[in-house]
Every structure is written in structure tokens, then in C-alpha cells.
Amino acid sequence: MKAEELKRAVASAQDEIVESLRSMLRVKSIGPAYGGEGESDRAKYLMGLLRKMGFKTVDLYESDDPSVPSGKRPNIIVRLRGTSPKNIWIVTHLDTVPEGDIEAWKSPPYDPEIRDGKIYGRGAEDNGQELMASLYGLHSLVRSGVTPECNVGLVFVADEEHGNVHGIEFLLKKDIFRKGDLVIAPDHGQKDGAAIAIVEKGIAWINVEVVGCQTHASTPHKGINALEAAARFMVAAVDGLRKAFPKKAPLFDPPASTFEPTKCEANGPNVNTVPGRQVFAFDFRVLPDYRLDEVMAFLQKVASEHEKLTGAKINVTFLNRADSAPMTSADSEIVHRLSKAIEAVRGVRPHVFGIGGGTCATPFRREGIEAAVWSTIPETAHNANEFINIADLVADAQVYALLFAGKNVG
């Protein structure tokens, strides 16, 4: 079979792909951290779809979680043997974030609507499009009688939206993946489908508690103003961090590390009290050149200086941390294979880049497994009125089909 024939085979299944995606999105799949019941119902839908499609090698790996009604967090792996021993994995996720402000939606978030060539619904972009695109890319090979060049594994994981504990991290302990495997984690992308992410910044969420001494606002000398101490520390910390960690890397946008004050908690209901406690948070995205322990050590040094300056106690702790994983080489096999398939479908020459957010590729890179991040998306994830373009859904399925087929199509 020729590549153009395989592309046409994928395109001919457009209506089927669209309806399967819409059916899946009707099944809520929100994790317990966000008030949901987990991914079990969506996994049941997909297991039924996979049986209907005729896939023979389908495995269900369940992580125990007493916080969901089923007690389990499901992970599904679909496998199809190729003509070479090399393994290619596509890792997408089953869970979504909640719908948020329902009044902001123009159509029901869990009854996906088609308008102007787009599918609107919660989870359409994040991560339904790529789950269905990878599934139908592989299914098109089966229906066309094409054997994949490499062994293909489609991995549908739980718990991506809240840390991967019951998903990727759970599966990595099962000895399923190994060095030499190739991984695509399509949970980030750009609108033209030409960008492949090969590295992420390190991420640190920092909690800061400033403890002073509460007093009446008319007698501030009798207390220690925690809000003022927090403000002074906040500005000094941000200014200092930006000067102490100044490197830039053109792969990223923005190219430098970012150090941003974000969340700030209320410190009391009334105006006429000097607050004795103030809590706020930082969000840091740090270039791979630096380790997060270096950043924290600098921050604690500034905190110690401001304790002496203000008399307040400043407690600085990690809320969450994820050091940057090793970069996947721009000349790696997975980047070359993916680039070739993208160019054959999109007619564009892909480029590599780095991102500031965490992705499903990071845990694999830490294990020494080459991983790339790619998809073609309108960048509406987590928004009200989240949507995808049907044309992108089909085109990405074509990319996966050609990627899987490799040398086995002309």
C-alpha cells in the first residue's frame, strides 16, 4: 500500500472517528481530587469500543484507589505486533478537568456539539482528540491490511490531571517500558502541527508562610505586620532570583526561567487590623541548566535575610516540584520518525522546542526513554467551550497511521 492510500483510508473513517470521540466525551472522567468518580466508566466505554474494533491484545492495569467508588483507577494498553522488535508507544490520558463555570459554556460540556467543523466539549482537546486519533490511526492499518513496522502500543492512562500516580508512574513500575523504546506523549501541541517538544522546564510551586504579630492598625508599633513583611520578601525574592538565574535558552518561550508570585490567601476580614499571618505562593518554571534545590537554597537565604530585617518568621516550603528531565535529542529516532510522518501529512517541516509546563513525557525521559510531545490543537484545554477542529483530528490520525506503518508503506 502507498502512503497516499493509507491517508485516504483514514480520511474515509472521519464520521466514525468523530462519533466515537463524541460518545467517549459524554462519559465523565474526572479524578477524585476534583470531585469526580474517576475514569472507570470511560475505560468501560473504551474497552467495549476496542472489542468492537477487533483488537485482540488489550490489557487493563488497575491502580488501587479507595477515594473512587470503583476502588480502581484504570489504565488500558492496546498492542499490535510489528515486523521489527522496536516498540513505539503513544501515551494519552483518560481523565479531564471539571467543566468549571457552566454558565460560560455555549453548549453542554458533556454533550459534545459540532459547529463550524469543530467539536465542542470538555476533554475534546485534552486529551480526547489524540486518544482517538492514535486509536483510529492504528485501526486504519488493521483494516487496510498493513503490518506496522514497529510494535505499537497505545496507552490510555488515568490520573494525568493530578500527578500521574495512578497512571504513568504506576505503569512504569510494571516493567512495561524499557530503554530503546520510543514514546510520543501528545498532551501538548501547537496550531500548525509543526512543533515537537523535546524538553520541559523544571516546575516548583512554593508555599510561603509569613508569621508576624497581630495588633490594632492604630498601634502598628506593637505588632509585626505580616503582610508588609511578605510584600518586602516577595519583591526581593523575585528580583533576586531573576538576577541569580539569568540564563536563556532559545528553545523555550519565554527563553528564561520565570519566577512568579501567584496565589495569595486572605489574612482577615477587617481593614483595621495589622495581620499577624500572611500566606502566598510562587510558581517557578526553571531552565534545565539549574536544579530546583539551587533555587530553593537561594530563596531560603533571602527569607533568612528578611526575617532579620522585619522580625517576622518566614517559612518557605515546596508545594510541588518536578525537576527538568533529560532532553530528548533533536536528532533522536522518535523525532526523525515523527517528523517524517508530519511532513507527509501536513506538508510542513517540523521544528523542536521546549515548554514551561509539565508533560507526560517527563517520567519517561527520567527513565532514559526517548520521548517527544506533539499534537495539532487550537490550545483551548481547560477553557470553557473547549474544542477541536475535525480536520486536525483526521490529520493527526493520518500522522499516526504513517508513523506506525513506517517502511511498510511506499
Q: Given pLDDT bands bounded at 50, 70 and 90, which one contains residue 1? A: confident
CB proximity list for 186: less than 8 A, separation 6 or greater? 90, 91, 92, 127, 130, 133, 134, 373, 374, 375, 396
| H or E, element range at 143 | helix 129-144
How many residues are present in the chain?
410
**For residue 358, pLDDT beyond 90:** no
Residues catalogued as catalytic: 95, 160
CA contacts within 13 A on the Cβ side of 193: 25
Q: How far apart (Å, rounded) are the C-alpha atoms in residues 277 and 207?
A: 13
**137-161 mean pLDDT:** 97
The model's pLDDT over 79-111, given as tens digits with 9 standing for 90+, comes to 999 999 999 999 999 999 999 999 999 999 999
Give the pLDDT band of residue 367 (cuts 50, 70, 90): very high
Extract the runs of DSSP E, i.e. beta strands, from 124-192.
151-157, 182-184
pLDDT in tens, 3-42: 999 999 999 999 999 999 999 999 999 999 999 999 999 9
Question: Does 254 sit behind a cis peptide bond, omega within 30 degrees of 0 on the bond before it?
Answer: yes
pLDDT of residue 410: 83
Q: What is the pLDDT of residue 348?
A: 93
pLDDT at 357: 83
3 state SS of 383 = coil
Q: How far apart are CA 270 and CA 157, in angstroms?
A: 47
How does pLDDT run across 370-394, given as a tens digit for each residue? 999 999 999 999 999 999 999 999 9
CB atoms near residue 283 (< 10 Å): 17
Helix (H) or strand (E) holding 399: helix 390-405
Domains located in the chain, CATH noted: 3-199+325-408 (3.40.630.10), 202-322 (3.30.70.360)
**Quick check: 232 and 250 in contact, CB under 8 A?**
no
* 382 within 8 A of 97, measured Cβ to Cβ: yes
Residue 266's contacts (CB-CB under 8 Å, 6 or more residues apart) are none
Mean pLDDT across the stretch 254-261?
Answer: 98
Cell match 523525532: residue? 335
User: What is the predicted pLDDT for the residue at 55?
Assistant: 97
Q: pTM for the full model? A: 0.91
> Is pLDDT above 90 for 314?
yes
Q: So what's the pLDDT on residue 404?
A: 98
Percent of the chain with pLDDT over 90: 97
pLDDT digits (tens, 9 = 90+) for 193-249: 999 999 999 999 999 999 999 999 999 999 999 999 999 999 999 999 999 999 999
Q: Is the pLDDT of residue 56 over 90?
A: yes
Q: What is the pLDDT of residues 220-236, one digit of tens each?
A: 999 999 999 999 999 99
Question: How is the beta sheet containing 313-322 ordered, strand by strand?
Answer: 258-264, 277-286, 202-211, 313-322
Three-state DSSP class for residue 118: strand
What span, in angstroms and rounded, lies between the C-alpha atoms of 142 and 409? Answer: 13
Number of other CB atoms surrounding residue 97 within 10 Å: 18
Mean pLDDT, residues 157-179 taken together: 95
Largest pairwise CA distance in the chain: 84
Phi, psi of 328 (to 5 degrees): -75, 130
